[in-house]
Structure 1
Amino acid sequence: MSKIANHTILDLRFQVVEVSQRYIRVMDILKSASPETSGFYPVRLNPLLLWFTQTIAIPGSRWRYWLDLQIDSDDLRRLQDLKGKRRLLLPNHPTFQDPIVVFLLSARLHQTFYYLAAYESFKGLLGWFLQRVGAYSIRRGIADRPSIAYTLELLAQPDCCLVIFPEGGCSFQNDTVMPFRSGGVQMAFQALSRFARRGEALPDFYVVPISIKYRYTQDMTSTIQTSLSQLEAQLHLPGTGGPYERLRAIAKQVLVNLEQEYGFQTSQIEHQSWNDRIIALKSHVLQECQQRLSMQASPGEPIREQVYRIQYALQTREELLEERTDQEAQESMWTLEAVQKAMFRLLNFDAINDGYIAENPTQERFLDTLIRLEREVFNIDQPSPKGHRQARVKIGNPINLKDFFEDYQQNRSLTINQLVVTIQQTVQNNLDQLSN
């Protein structure tokens, strides 16, 4: 056997041993905080499976998702320099493939990342797999105490690298971000507070803004034309005009259909802008669902958080409405299935706005919108990939929370909010740079 082959085998063995040792250290500490209950799924890291999955991730994602990771060496080095430090990675979340992109990043770095993932993802074989490559669950829409406690224990570990998507879900928009949630930064400060209460020196704790932007590597004109034609056929539209005019006709028909389905008609509707109509329809649907569930929104609560609370309420109640006869349930449009469908729609169109394509008519923005319309019109969760894409990743300057801890002690809410705004702006600015 050649010296090169021997060196490669030794290097692979070293990686597996290193991951195994990290696994033993972390799992020993988290053991008391990781009860396997019906409401929480902790990490069950399998070092060999993780190493194998990282090894095949690059060719596997190219074959399965038509996806390749692209990151500059300087950005990669920025993360490499933080190895062994506590890190909280905060990427934007434009597509369902973003966790795969971050996993590809971990494979390039030969590092173990931990992932906070939606509870609904941990069903069946997929859930078993996710736990063994570093993911654990959180129930959205409630204060998930087991998950929060587990996160705080995890963040206390010196070489922890935790990934949280601060938008709280997919935006389905490649160039823009939704408002970031503050929970990740808040928990990181809480982890630092534990050191302060014990009188120990504060460790470095880095928050890293990460921007993910997808770019198709080929001309997508024919794919766009095919998608337009399929949507027009389903909606019985003539399909006249240029691609943008056809897309607007499809979007208008979908909006009208939804307004009619939910009985949302006003005398002023034809004189309102599309954005006003979209906002009013969302508000109407939310209020109807909340009324049926005897729920109320908190002042200023984002639509996505309201949706998650409704979804959690649906999961924990056997009946949608109390004290209703079967006949009343059949006559009402707000059946359990109808509310679930409404929540799907609200998440699908959460970040949508008229003018998204017009302000920058790229094929990526065109397909962002088409994919959302396909999800609605054809009632599918995840449409197949449209073409091969590069996932371009840019790493923002890491922020050491230790430098802001004194400010945090003086005014927690203000410090957290200012940092979250800074992180969100960094992610958006870097997305803009990736567009050039």
Structure 2
Amino acid sequence: MNSIHQYQPPLAFIPPAFNPLVLRVVQALIPQILRSTAQVQSVQVEHLDRLVHHYQQFQQGKSRLLLAFRHPSIDDPAVLFHLMAHLLPQQAKGQGQPFKTPTHCHFLYDRGIPLWVGSWIGWLYSRLGGVPIHRGKLDMQGLRTARHLLGQGQFPFAIAPEGATNGHNDIISPLEPGVAQLGFWAAEDLQKAGKANSVVILPISLRYSYVRPPWTALDRLLTELEQDCGLPPLTALDPDLPCPTPDPAHQDGAVEDGAAGNSTDPLRYQRLYRLGLQLLDQLEGFYSRFYHQDFSDLGALQTPPGMATDPLPQRLQRLLNTALAAAEAHFGLKPKGDIIARCRRLEQAGWDWIYREDLENRNRLSPLECGLADRVAEEAALRLWHMRIVESFVAVTGSYVRQDPSADRYGETTLLVWDLITRLKGGNPLKRPNLGAKAVKISIGEPLLVDSYWSQYQENRRGARQAVADLTQDLQTALEQLMRP
């Protein structure tokens, strides 16, 4: 989000306004966008026949289709767009069952994206049939629109049930219940309309890997981050720092640009670990001095099994809770729910103070009223900075690389550290460095039929809540299974 110095009018709903011409232009450009912007060199799809079958069922009017996809990266929308625009119709044509064109999907996106990327993305997403949603509140207008399109739209509907990216290929965040609830609403609407269509939820997993392990680029980025943190070069192993003990099955001895490097290099791991310690030390000191937080209970922290001498994971979780508490205190919020839920509530609280629904016309306010409203908005935007730090690290465990020191995990974690340091420096975390060309594997899972949960959903309010919870858990399990090698 850009710096805020004045309060803003309310965030207007951006209605979907699908435009076939805009879709054709984007479909033509998407392969080049993937190569040049996302550095995606290849896309492989596992069980694409499942998507072909259910898309055919949708086009034949036999079912309504909801695509629930994993969201590890900001490149996911472009990858999925390529899947729907090119790979899907190619497969169907190869099977002798071509689709009606165009092949596409409506989708849900975070209302904050046009604030961070620019208003043009809101215009584009609208013309591509996207529906904006406020993540931190019950956004009835967004939900009603999504419900209508899922039940009656020209295309299937795509949603990321995690709600946001977490930067990890091998960790899935807890799913939000929105996908399941939309599925039941669609089934309810179809029943009321006397239609016998089934509602199908198709799990989709995305996994990114480097075409060649980018050890040289990683080491160069680690050097830049060390300089940012004021750390001297680490040229020899430090006996006070841990070393990884990787599973031999994950070792790779790939060489890039003639520079030797592999996942078992203990010096690289110690450099990354030392960066983590430096950030923890600096941020604990920051919150201790300026937000009066007490970090003296380090000896009382519980460490995970097998890491009895490594307090870093628990220090990290404590720091994230402290950062959220600092922002919650400003907005008068009590901690409620897990870290993700707290981030959502904080974001909405900040938006309520910046995008004022009670002060739409600035000309009707006195200069004093405008000045006070501006100060409130400016402070709210600044306090959201704490939440953004936590949001970047919401899935970081502190032991992710140690468990499997592969190039992919090194890359994911080092880029998240870059995100944090860039935010602390006041830079733009959207301008991430590219470490190297990537390959994407898309896995299409077995369908989940909303009909299988419908009788329980219809019982009573308690049964409906349980049905939503059960379907959400089954979707989580399905996505976790797709993530396994």
Q: What's the CA shift for 1:245? A: 0.5
1:269 equivalenced with 2:298 (yes/no): yes
Amino acid at match of 1:304: I
CA contact (8 A) 1:113 1:163 kept: yes
In structure 2, the residue matched to 1:152 is 147
Asked whether 1:293 is paired with 2:331, we answer: yes
Alignment-derived partner of residue 394 in structure 1: 443
One of 156, 181, 189 as aligned partner of 1:194: 189
CA positional deviation for 1:250: 0.3
Aligned-pair CA distance for 1:117: 0.4
Cα distance, 1:55 vs structure 2: 2.2
Does the C-alpha gap of structure 1 residues 309 and 158 become closer, same or farther in structure 2, counting only changes over 3 Å?
A: closer
Q: What pairs up with 1:204-283 in 2 under 5 angstroms?
A: 204-240=198-234, 241=237, 242-263=267-288, 264-269=293-298, 272=301, 273-283=311-321
Specify the alignment match of 1:118 in structure 2.
110
Alignment partner of 1:238: what SS? coil
Write the letter of the residue equivalent to 2:109.
A
The equivalent residue for 1:381 is 429
- Aligned partner of residue 39 in structure 1, secondary structure: coil
CA contact (8 A) 1:69 1:104 kept: no
Supply the AA of the counterpart residue of 1:95.
S
Matched, 1:70 2:43: yes
Match of 2:453 in 1: 404
Q: TM-score, normalised by structure 2?
A: 0.75
Residue 106 of structure 2 is aligned to residue 54 of structure 1: no
Counterpart for residue 396 of structure 2:
352
Name the SS for the 2:47 alignment partner: helix
In structure 1, what is the Cα distance between the partners aligned to 2:355 and 2:67? 39
Q: Who is 2:352 aligned against? A: 316
- Scaled by the length of structure 1, the TM-score of the pair is 0.83
| Range 203-212 or range 403-412, more displaced | 403-412
Once the two structures are superposed, residues 224-261 of structure 1 have per-residue CA deviations (whole angstroms, 9 ceiling, x without a partner) of 11011111111121232300001000011111111111
The residue aligned with 2:368 is: none
Q: In the alignment, does 2:202 pair up with 1:172?
A: no
Between the aligned partners of 2:416 and 2:182, the Cα distance in structure 1 is 33
Conservation of the 8 A alpha-carbon contact between 1:115 and 1:135: yes
What SS is found at the alignment partner of 2:399? coil
Aligned-pair distance for 1:396? 0.4
- CA distance in 1 between counterparts of 2:161 and 2:64 reads 18
Instruction: Output the CA distance in 2 between the equivalents of 1:158 and 1:340.
Output: 36
- 1:414 deviates by 1.7
Residue 483 of structure 2: aligned partner? 431
Deviation of 1:50 after TM superposition, in Å, equals 0.4
Report % sequence identity. Answer: 23
Q: What secondary structure, in the 3-state scheme, does the structure 2 residue paired with 1:81 have?
A: helix
Q: Could you tell me how far apart the structure 1 residues matched to 2:318 and 2:154 are?
A: 47
Contact 2:131–2:145 (8 Å) recurs in 1: no
User: Equivalents in 2 of 1:54, 1:312: separation in Å?
Assistant: 34
TM-superposed CA distance for 1:218, in Å, is 1.2
Cα distance, 1:56 vs structure 2: 2.3
Specify the SS of the correspondent of 1:219.
coil
CA distance, structure 2, for counterparts of residue 89 and residue 390 of structure 1: 21
Equivalent residues of 2:223, 2:233 under 8 A apart: yes
Distance in 2 separating the partners of 1:67 and 1:89: 22
SS at match of 2:209: strand
CA contact (8 A) 1:86 1:159 kept: no
Distance 2:420 2:196 in 1: 49
Q: Summarize deviations over 1:373-394 as a string: whole Å, max 9, x none.
A: 1111123312132211011100
For residue 160 of structure 1, give the secondary structure of its aligned residue in structure 2: coil
In structure 1, the partner of 2:262 is: none
Contact 2:453 2:471 in 1 (8 A): no
- Post-superposition CA distance 1:359-380 (Å, at most 9, x none): 1111111011110111111233
Q: Is the 8 A contact 1:69 1:105 kept in 2?
A: no
Q: Give the Cα separation in 1 of the matches to 2:37 and 2:314.
A: 39
The unaligned stretches of length 5 or more in structure 2 are 1-9, 90-102, 238-266, 302-310, 357-370
* Shift, 1:302, TM fit: 2.4
Aligned in 2, Cα 1:266/1:121: closer, same or farther, shift over 3 Å? closer
User: Secondary structure of the equivalent of 1:243?
Assistant: helix
C-alpha distance in 2, partners of 1:204/1:319? Answer: 40
Counterpart Cα distance in 2 of 1:87 and 1:368: 32
Distance (Å, rounded) in 1 between the aligned partners of 2:456 and 2:44: 34
Report the secondary structure of 1:214's partner residue: strand
SS of the residue corresponding to residue 94 of structure 1 reads: coil
What SS does structure 1 have at the residue aligned with 2:403? coil
SS at match of 2:442: strand
- Looking at structure 1, the residues matched to 153 and 42 of structure 2 have their Cα atoms a distance apart, in angstroms, of 28
8 A Cα contact 1:195 1:202, kept in partner: yes
